Amino acid sequence: MTYPHVILNNGVSMPALGMGVYQSKPEETTTAVVTALNAGYRHIDTAAAYFNEAEVGEGLRRADVDRADVFVETKLWIRDYGYDEALHGFEKSTRKLGVDQIDLLLLHQPLPTHFDKTIAAYKALETLLADGRVRAIGVSNLSPDELDRLMADTSVVPAVNQIQLHPFYTQPKWRAANDKHGILTQCWSPIAGAYTYNGNATNPFTEPVLVELGAKYSKTPAQVMLRWHLEHGFSAIPKSVKPERIVENFDVFDFTLTSDEVASIDALDTGVSGSIDPDSLTLEQHGMPIPE
């Protein structure tokens, strides 16, 4: 069993499969992180706006692994955009996580109403990269157009664009833009969590294509979806707080899907997002402060 890694555009190696902790309650997060690391995960994705960075940090310390062996990824929230604000946001995150260096730091969202602040925050990420405080920098939820605008005013091509992507929402245009620039596509809601917790009628776990492939390989539909991400060369960060699911979601390295099987999953795309339009976020409505 080999744990696949992806090489980012600055040469940094990142475990392709990580565990996400969005909506993991603080009191559940440390145990989930410890369970994941002890099950073999070496990549955790959190964010300042998940309000559980301290509990992630506690999990990093409690698990039976060295900090240096874990790829720690977090995101700066829109309230901390602007150059000085972003540098301070980084300090808040490192303090809560209890780490000196972050492996991958992303801008969590574009802020279309204040794109100048988005750019200034990214410039702060460039400074942190140059100073060795982060090993790689990137973005999340940036459209092809927004990527172009960001890159026109900054120097470092983002290593990653983390976007909603799963078999029911495969984002061909956004993937193509990422590929064109050498930006790795990292998939949030990789097993269509945004569909399940937002009440979309599509139930990913009863989809016949996924159920049949699962039966063929003795895997669950969730595992088939995660394997599909790996076949595409994406990074995927499934979330769970349930120990058996955390283990299940990592048990995807002992089978492969054929190109026809990958295509049959690609064909499940509905083009329907399971979440709000990332461009609809505003500081006024979504700019909650991130505590010290």
Closer to ligand NAP at the Cβ: 94 or 200?
A: 200
106-125 positions binding ligand NAP, by CB under 6 A: 108
Helix/strand/coil for 135: strand
Nearest to 221, CA basis, from 202, 197, 234:
202
d(CA 177, CA 181) in angstroms, rounded, equals 7
Q: 83 an active-site residue?
A: no
Q: Which residue has the tokens 């900054």?
A: 154
Q: Is residue 39 a contact partner of residue 64, using CB atoms and an 8 Å limit?
A: no
Query: Shortest gap between Cβ of 165 and ligand NAP (angstroms)?
Result: 10
Query: Shortest gap between Cβ of 214 and ligand NAP (angstroms)?
Result: 11
Mask of contacts with ligand NAP, 161-180, x by CB under 6 A? -x------------------
HSE, CB side, 13 Å, CA atoms: give it for residue 189: 22
Does residue 14 bind ligand NAP (CB under 6 A)?
Answer: no
Structure tokens at 186: 């990292």
46-85 positions binding ligand NAP, by CB under 6 A: none
Closer to ligand NAP at the Cβ: 25 or 216?
A: 25
Q: Is residue 87 a contact partner of residue 55, using CB atoms and an 8 Å limit?
A: no
> What angle is formed at CA 234 by the lines to CA 233 and CA 237, rounded to 5 degrees?
140
d(CA 150, CA 122) in angstroms, rounded, equals 8
Closer to ligand NAP at the Cβ: 115 or 197?
A: 197
Closer to ligand NAP at the Cβ: 44 or 260?
A: 44
Does residue 202 bind ligand NAP (CB under 6 A)?
Answer: no
Does residue 207 bind ligand NAP (CB under 6 A)?
Answer: no
Closer to ligand NAP at the Cβ: 82 or 221?
A: 221
Structure tokens at 246: 């955390």
Structure tokens at 234: 């994406």
Catalytic residue (choose from 3, 22, 41, 50): 50
Nearest to 216, CA basis, from 167, 265, 183, 176:
265
Query: Shortest gap between Cβ of 274 and ligand NAP (angstroms)?
Result: 8
d(CA 157, CA 151) in angstroms, rounded, equals 7
CB atoms inside a 10 Å sphere around CB 115 = 15
30-49 positions binding ligand NAP, by CB under 6 A: 45
Mask of contacts with ligand NAP, 231-270, x by CB under 6 A? ------xxxxxx--x--xx---------------------
Binding site for ligand NAP (CB under 6 A): 20-22, 45, 108, 140-141, 162, 188-194, 196-197, 205, 222, 237-242, 245, 248-249
Residues carrying an active site annotation: 50
